[in-house]
Structures are given as C-alpha cells and as structure tokens.
Chain A
Amino acid sequence: MLPCPSDLSLLSLRSAPQHLPSTLIKAIQRIPRARPGTGTVDCIVQEASFRELGDWQRLIHDPYIAPDPARLDRSWHWPRYLTASYLLNDVHGRLTEAFQIMVSSPTGRAVPVGVAMLVSGYPHPGEVGEMGTFVWFLSSTPPAALQAFGVTDRFVVMPLLLDSAVQASRWQGLHGRVALHADHRGTPKQQDDLVKRYVACGLTQRNYLKGTPLSWFRKMDSRYFTYGMASAHACTLKWDPLR
C-alpha cells in the first residue's frame, strides 16, 4: 500500500538532514573594500530580471566593458542570455536567477559592483545523484564605471558573488553546492589568471574528472570548478560577519 501524503511528509521530515531554515540563510549586507584593512561599506544583494539586467547592459556593460579588449566578458549580452536561459532551462525544471550587489554613491544612488546569473538544478560535477547551482555568468563593474557613478572605492566582488551563489543554492535546498565552468576564451595568461582567482575563492578545480560523464550526453573537461557542501560552508563562514 502506498503511504498517504501525510505519511510521506513525516518520512521526509524524519530522513531529512538537519539544515538551517532557508530564512536564516542570509545574503551579505556589507562588502569589503579591495585594499586590505580599509574596512567595509553597506551593500545590497538584489534579484535582477530583464529591467535590472537591461540597466546593467546599457549603463555599465556597453559603455565600459564592451570597448575593453582585456575583458573576457566584453561580448556578453545579459538580457539576451536571460531569454536564452529561460528558454533552455525552464523546460528542464531548472531555475534561472540573477543577482546584483549594489553599493551607495555619495549622493545616495545605488550602483552595482557586480552581477551573476545562476541556474539551479544541474547535476553537480563529481557528486553522482546530487544537484547543484551552476554559475552561468558573473561580471564585476570596471573602476571607470564606478567612478562615473561617483564611487571611488574598489571592492572585493568575485568572492561575494560566489557567496551569493552558495546562498542561492541553499535557498533552493541544494546545500550550497555550486559549480562553474571557466571561460575558454582569452589568452593563456588571461585564462591562468581566471583559474588563480577561482582557486583563491576556495573553489576546487575538478580536473581529475576530465572525460567522465556529466550526464547521459556530456562529458566533463578540466575547466569545472566546484564548491561541495564542506567547501561552501568554509567559503560562506568567512563572510558571515558581513551578513
């Protein structure tokens, strides 16, 4: 006999590992300045959709990132990527989210320091049967753009975009599992720099998984980086004083 729905909910409660309720999983409210020892400033983590990504594209990306040949993200188009992600992922039951981290200008206007697009519900590399959140795109605001909006400080951005991805994974019940795939474009030096920055954020490079199946149709290369539950915990613990 099949258990009735109330039996099922009891079973799931009994077997579920103990984790924080999602309302206690919090995003950061402060962001450190890039220069060590110079303190933190107020910040806001904001969900972003077409309107916010359109503003990012028009006010930050097009004037400051697209013309810069040193930026690996110069050809990106965030609103179009959001459309593409909705089309490609919704039918698979995967959730697309984008987040911006905002700081205040001296005149009290919000200014984004970085943006990330996440898709939750992918098989997590290296953990068979587990799902995680995939960081599709992340980008930081160039200093010239910050200055144009009156912000003269620079900030620690990438680790805190990744912190937001870990929290988003937890909000989806995926226990902080996060993966990303390093961009294959750019010069060897640009790629090496990217890898170094990901490793410095506590991400594990899954190069030993090269060639192993990620799904029925795909194999992994050596450019996947992941947080598992433990490394995600270590990553976010470091930033807990900022929440």
Chain B
Amino acid sequence: MGSLFAHREFPELELSPQPAERKVQVRLLRNVLTVIGRRNLLRQPMRWADVSRFAETAAVVEATTAHMDGLPAEADFGSFDELKARRDETNVVRLR
C-alpha cells in the first residue's frame, strides 16, 4: 500500500502499512488540521500567549515524552572543557 506522505525529504511522515495503526495516525493528523484550520478560519492563529496551554495538550505532552524517552538522560551537563573545545568561530557550541 502506498503512503499518503511517502516522500524522500520527509521519511518520518511515512504512515504505517498496518491499516489499524494507519487509521490512528491519520486521525491524529486530522485532529491537528482541525485545530489549526478552525483557528485560522476564525482569524485567531495561535499566539505566544497560547503556547503554554497548547503545550499541555495530550498530543504535545505525549509526543514530547516519547521523543525525550529516546534521548540519553545525563546525570549532569557534561564537561565544560569538552564543550569549550566545540565552540565555532561565533563562540557558540552548535548542535548541527
């Protein structure tokens, strides 16, 4: 089955080949579209002041938690000298 979002530039947006899982994924995307679409039709796109409430929605909370669970949890913030050695010409330690 081909994917609605199959695109080599956005591989993470590939939908599941499992029909039940795919249905759930599409439902979530539809919900996001509904929220953003409604707010735009009302001419009330989300503002900075809305962010804290938006960030507490189950979708954002659980997606963030799932993403964070895949990252290493450190006991501290690492070696100062190792960070210092990674500064670029603008004096910033970049992540890319």
Q: Interface residues, chain A, CB within 8 Å of chain B?
A: 22-23, 25-29, 42, 44-52, 54-55, 58-59, 75-77, 79-85, 87-88, 99, 102-105, 108-112, 134, 136, 149, 167, 171, 181, 184, 216-218, 243
Residues from chain B with a CB closer than 8 A to the CB of A87 are 32, 54, 60
Also in contact, A217 and B43, with CB within 8 A (given A45-B92, A109-B78): yes
Listed from nearest, the 9 A-B pairs whose CB atoms lie closest are A104-B80, A80-B55, A46-B93, A27-B91, A84-B55, A110-B77, A110-B80, A83-B64, A26-B91
Q: How far is the CA of A70 from the CA of B64 in the complex (A)?
A: 27
Q: Which residue of B lies closest to A180 (CB)?
A: B48
Also in contact, A44 and B95, with CB within 8 A (given A83-B55, A88-B51, A111-B77): no
- Pairwise interchain contact A23-B90, C-beta atoms closer than 8 A: yes
Residues from chain B with a CB closer than 8 A to the CB of A47 are 92-95
Q: Which residues of B54-96 are within 8 A (CB) of A?
A: 54-56, 60-61, 63-64, 67-68, 71-74, 76-81, 83-84, 87, 89-95
Question: What is the CB-to-nearest-CB distance from B57 to chain A, in angstroms, rounded to a whole number?
Answer: 9
Q: How far is the CA of A135 from the CA of B54 in the complex (A)?
A: 18
Indicate if B45 sits at the interface (CB-CB under 8 A).
yes
- Pairwise interchain contact B55-A108, C-beta atoms closer than 8 A: no
- Pairwise interchain contact B77-A79, C-beta atoms closer than 8 A: no
Indicate if B46 sits at the interface (CB-CB under 8 A).
yes
Residue total for B at the interface (Cβ-Cβ under 8 A): 39
User: Which of B45, B55, B71 has the largest number of chain A CB atoms within 10 A?
Assistant: B55
Also in contact, A54 and B73, with CB within 8 A (given A47-B92, A83-B67, A134-B48): yes
Also in contact, A108 and B79, with CB within 8 A (given A75-B52, A81-B52): yes
- Pairwise interchain contact B63-A83, C-beta atoms closer than 8 A: yes
Q: How far is the CA of A77 from the CA of B65 in the complex (A)?
A: 11
- Pairwise interchain contact A55-B74, C-beta atoms closer than 8 A: yes
Residues from chain A with a CB closer than 8 A to the CB of B8 are none
Question: What is the CB-to-nearest-CB distance from B10 to chain A, in angstroms, rounded to a whole number?
Answer: 12
- Pairwise interchain contact A23-B89, C-beta atoms closer than 8 A: yes
Q: How far is the CA of A58 from the CA of B90 in the complex (A)?
A: 29
Also in contact, A59 and B77, with CB within 8 A (given A28-B91, A83-B55, A110-B83): yes
Indicate if B18 sits at the interface (CB-CB under 8 A).
no
User: Which of A45, A79, A184 has the largest number of chain B CB atoms within 10 A?
Assistant: A79
Residues from chain B with a CB closer than 8 A to the CB of A76 are 52
Q: How far is the CA of A42 from the CA of B79 in the complex (A)?
A: 13
Question: What is the CB-to-nearest-CB distance from B70 to chain A, in angstroms, rounded to a whole number?
Answer: 9
- Pairwise interchain contact A102-B83, C-beta atoms closer than 8 A: yes
User: Can you name 20 A-B residue pairings with CB atoms under 8 Å?
Assistant: A22-B90, A23-B89, A23-B90, A26-B89, A26-B91, A27-B91, A42-B84, A45-B91, A46-B83, A50-B68, A55-B74, A75-B52, A76-B52, A83-B64, A83-B67, A87-B54, A104-B80, A167-B90, A181-B49, A217-B44
Residues from chain B with a CB closer than 8 A to the CB of A23 are 89-90
Residues from chain B with a CB closer than 8 A to the CB of A42 are 80, 84
